[in-house]
Amino acid sequence: MGATEVSIPRTTTGKIRPHQTQNEGLVFEKSAPGKKAYKLPPLDVPAVDPAKVLGDFRRTRSAELPELSEIEIIRHFTRLSTWNYAIDLGMYPLGSCTMKYNPRVNEFVARIEGLAEAHPYRPDALAQGVLEVVDLLQRCLIEITGMDTITLQPAAGAHGEFTGILLVRAWHESQGNPRKKVLIPDSAHGTNPATAAICGYAVENLKSNADGGIDLEALAAQVDEDTAALMLTNPSTLGVFENEIHKIADILHAKGALLYMDGANMNALVGKVRPGDFGVDVMHLNLHKTFSTPHGGGGPGSGPVACKKFLEPFLPVPVLVRRTSTGEQGNEGTSKQGNREQGVGSTKLGPGAGALHWDYDRPKSVGRVRAFYGNTGMFIRALAYILANGPDGLRQTTEDAVLNANYIRKKLEDLYELPYKTPSMHEVVFSDKRQAAKGVKTGDIAKRLIDYGFHPYTVSFPLIVHGALMIEPTESESREELDLFIEAMRSIAREVEETPEVVKTAPHSTRVSRLDEVTAARKPILRWRPDVVRS
Ligand SMILES: Cc1ncc(COP(=O)(O)O)c(C=O)c1O
């Protein structure tokens, strides 16, 4: 329990799911000398003297690893696993992260032996099946984005941005001048300015207008011959679609600058509009957001980069190409030798049209951005999702994601301040303005949500909204689950009025109560040391 004794109002909401509260020591604390989770048979080969084999590299002190029995290890980690929140437990409304359900069909397909066990060193001729999967995903993503060609190599959204801006730089260099700056709106995801800076560009901030969009006049005044690109998230982190995007593209192109679209929020556009049709030159996708592959705790993500044909020579190596009877066919539909045009999705592509292979002979390429070809397991899952939904299913998914966000907006806008009244797409951003008058901040409300059985929404982002509550329900949620979330948020708003201390000291139902986040961030203790006593 926290400092304030509170009871959770069980009657006000149907969604009370107390956090697991077992206590659990560290494995090191449970350790006892001599305990083992294995038993080896007696040695049946000649013994080796480690000192002779390893010399000075021989360990002279014990590794101080915990010693436990098998059942103790299993129980320890199983108990810990129950303390995690997951999309498989309930709604995960973490705005901007698109924590949608990962359908089990994806996992089923990814575990098919021939795909799961394909080794990256397998010769192309013996890997045609998995290469067809990669090729089909590439063609699906090209079709969905309306771009000309693609690389699947980057391992995350931010990594995709990095790759995309490397393409921009390489193209400008090929024109004789890499240019100096990248424009970034104040509503951008933090990875955008970081990307521009790491690619050697100066970052110039672009102020949003009152609707949360780009101010065209301000843009026209800021773009010049030093501008390499504008990095634009569309829909933005405010959940707002940039209606004048084609005009934005025209303004940039008139000065020789490129339009980079952060396509991490494509879950609001798939099946509706295509960035390639509204002037975007290069963009990335987050397969782990839009196409339902697991986010994986910073693990195997995938951030493909799609671009227009003029950027194709700069794509990372290797590039997947198909050997046809008249030459080599890349994704962009141009034969290397025969220069034969084949549209994306053409019946001439796909199995039977010629063998696929990785092409390393690309003199203008920006080089590799990752080992091998990217996270193939994620490609398989994303393709399974795309094929299982089909074009109509994908469009429906987009509509449901937008509908869910707007349902929440409508049901909460009387209690929570809506700083931008522009129509919402896949997420809705409120501010804590009204609750702050009672001394309750967005972070307090988010922590109180945990007591109601929900993962918190995104707190204090985007930065242009002071005290932001950024809520993205995704299409995964049923009306019933949305209603429970709305009920919880309404109940918390009432608590702010009547018993603000309850909210300010939340969470109350978790194993540990309010943590000292500043100390945790500034002085983290990341590994066990026998000399550090836990308080
Ligand atoms: C708009 C936007 N851009 C970029 C990213 C970065 O993607 P990643 O976390 O995969 O690096 C995200 C992640 O959520 C995002 O929401």
For 312, phi then psi, to 5°, come to -55, -40
Instruction: Report residues whose beta carbon is within 6 angstroms of any ligand 1 atom.
Output: 96-97, 156-158, 189, 191, 233, 237, 262, 264-265, 286, 301, 303
Q: What does the alpha-carbon distance between residue 509 and residue 521 come to, in Å, rounded to a whole number?
A: 23
Q: Is the pLDDT of residue 1 over 70?
A: no
Q: Distance, CA 158 to ligand 1 centroid (Å)? A: 6
- Which residue's entry shows tokens 């869910």? 404
Question: What confidence tens digit (pLDDT) does each residue in 17-29 have?
Answer: 554 556 788 899 8
* Listed residue (455, 393, 382, 467) closest to 429, CA to CA: 467
CA distances (Å), origin 329, targets 86, 150, 332, 358: 42, 13, 8, 11
Q: Give pLDDT, residue 22.
A: 60
Region for residue 390 given its phi and psi (left: phi exceeds 0; alpha: psi -120 to 50; beta: otherwise): left
Given the CA of residue 295, which atom of ligand 1 is nearest to it?
10
- 173 within 8 A of 199, measured Cβ to Cβ: no
More confident of the two residues 486 and 38: 486
Helices H / strands E in the chain, number of each: 17, 13
User: Is the distance from CB of 296 to CB of 255 less than 8 angstroms?
Assistant: no
Does a cis peptide bond (omega within 30 degrees of 0) precede residue 193? no
> Is residue 113 packed enough to be buried (19+ CB in 10 Å), middle (13-18) or exposed (0-12)?
exposed
- Percent of the chain past pLDDT 70, that is, above it, reads 90
- Asked if residue 318 has a cis previous peptide bond (ω within 30° of 0), the answer is yes
Span from the CA of 302 to the centroid of ligand 1 (angstroms): 11
Q: Which residue reads 């993962």 in tokens?
A: 455
Minimal-distance CA residue to ligand 1 atom 10: 157
In a 3-state reduction of DSSP, which class is residue 267? helix
The tens digit of pLDDT for each residue in 3-18 reads: 444 555 544 455 555 5
Nearest atom in ligand 1 to the alpha carbon of residue 98 is 14
* Three-class secondary structure of residue 431 per DSSP: strand
Give the helix, strand, coil percentages of the chain, each rounded to 5. Answer: 40, 10, 50
Q: How far is the CA of 191 from the centre of ligand 1 (A)?
A: 7
What region does 176 belong to: left with phi over 0, alpha with psi -120 to 50, or beta?
left
Determine the distance separating the centroid of ligand 1 and the alpha carbon of 214, expressed in angstroms: 20
The mean pLDDT of 335-364, rounded to a whole number, is 65
pTM as predicted: 0.88
Cβ within 8 Å of residue 13, ≥6 positions away: 452, 484, 487, 488, 491
Ligand 1, atom 9, lies closest to the CA of 157
Query: Residue 528 is encoded by which pair of tokens?
Result: 């066990």
Best mutation site among 159, 286, 474 for ligand 1 pocket (most ligand atoms within 8 Å of CB): 286
Q: State residue 305 phi and psi, 5-degree precision.
A: -115, 120
End-to-end CA distance of the chain: 16
State the closest ligand 1 atom to the C-alpha of 158, by its place in the atom list counted from 1.
11
Strand, helix or coil for residue 489: helix
Choosing from 189, 261, 285 the residue with most ligand 1 atoms within 8 A of its CB, the one to mutate for a pocket test is 189
Ligand 1 centroid to residue 456 C-alpha, Å: 18
Q: What is the DSSP string of 57-89?
A: GS--S--------HHHHHHHHHHHHTT---TTT
**Ligand 1 atom nearest residue 237's Cα:** 1
Tokens of 279: 């002037």
Q: Yes or no: say if 434 and 417 are a contact pair by the CB < 8 Å rule.
A: yes
pLDDT at 342 over 70: no
Beta strand 282-284 pairing with 202-206: unpaired
CA 343 → CA 129, 321, 335, 346, distances in Å? Answer: 22, 14, 11, 5
- The predicted pLDDT at position 527 comes to 83
Per-residue pLDDT band for 196 (boundaries 50, 70, 90) equals very high
Nearest CA to ligand 1 atom 7: 157
Closest ligand 1 atom to residue 97 Cα is 14
What gap in Å lies between CA 451 and CA 473, rounded to an integer? 18
For residues 334-356, give the mean pLDDT.
Answer: 53
The alpha helices in 452-533, defined as continuous H runs, are 479-498, 500-504, 517-522
Mean pLDDT of the chain: 90
Pull the structure tokens for residue 305. Answer: 């980069």
DSSP 13: -
Q: What is the pLDDT of residues 273-311, one digit of tens each?
A: 999 999 999 999 999 999 999 986 555 899 999 999 999
Q: Is 267 exposed, middle or buried (0-12, 13-18, 19+ CB in 10 A)?
A: buried
CA 451 to centroid of ligand 1, rounded, Å: 28
For residue 161, which atom of ligand 1 is closest to its CA?
A: 4
Distance CA 499, CA 497 (A): 6
Q: Whose CA is nearest to atom 8 of ligand 1?
A: 157
Nearest Cα residue to atom 5 of ligand 1 = 157
How far is the centre of ligand 1, averaged over its atoms, from the C-alpha of 157 (Å)?
5
Q: C-alpha angle with apex 509: 506 to 514, nearest 5 degrees? A: 40
**Measuring from atom 4 of ligand 1, which residue has the nearest CA?**
157
- CA of residue 131 to ligand 1 center, whole Å: 27
Q: Which helix (H) or strand (E) is 435 found in, with range? A: helix 433-436
97 CA to centre of ligand 1 in angstroms: 7
Helix (H, G, I), strand (E, B) or coil at 230: strand
Minimum mean pLDDT among 183-187, 267-271, 528-532: which range?
Answer: 528-532
DSSP assignment of 101-162 equals ---HHHHHHHT-HHHHT--TTS-GGG-HHHHHHHHHHHHHHHHHHT-SEEE---SSHHHHHH
With 80 as the cut, is the pLDDT of residue 268 above it? yes
Q: How far is the CA of 303 from the centre of ligand 1 (A)?
A: 9
Q: Can you read off the two tokens belonging to residue 363? A: 């003199």
Give the H or E element holding residue 388. Answer: helix 376-412
At residue 375's C-alpha, the angle toward residues 369 and 113, to 5°, is 145
Distance between Cα 527 and ligand 1 center (Å):
28
What is the CA(238)–ligand 1 centre distance, in A? 14
In this structure, which residue's CA is closest to atom 15 in ligand 1? 264
Q: What is the pLDDT of residue 297?
A: 58
User: Ligand 1: distance of its center to the CA of 426 in Å?
Assistant: 15
Query: 85 pLDDT exceeds 70?
Result: yes
Ligand 1 atom with the smallest distance to the CA of 156 is 10
Q: Which residues face 283 on adjacent strands? A: 261, 306
Among the ranges given (115-129, 176-190, 321-335), the one the predictor scored with the smallest mean pLDDT? 321-335
> Residue 269 Cα, ligand 1 centroid: separation in angstroms?
16
Alpha helix ranges (H) inside 175-209: 191-198
Residue of 92, 94, 96 with the most ligand 1 atoms within 8 Å of its CB, for mutation: 96
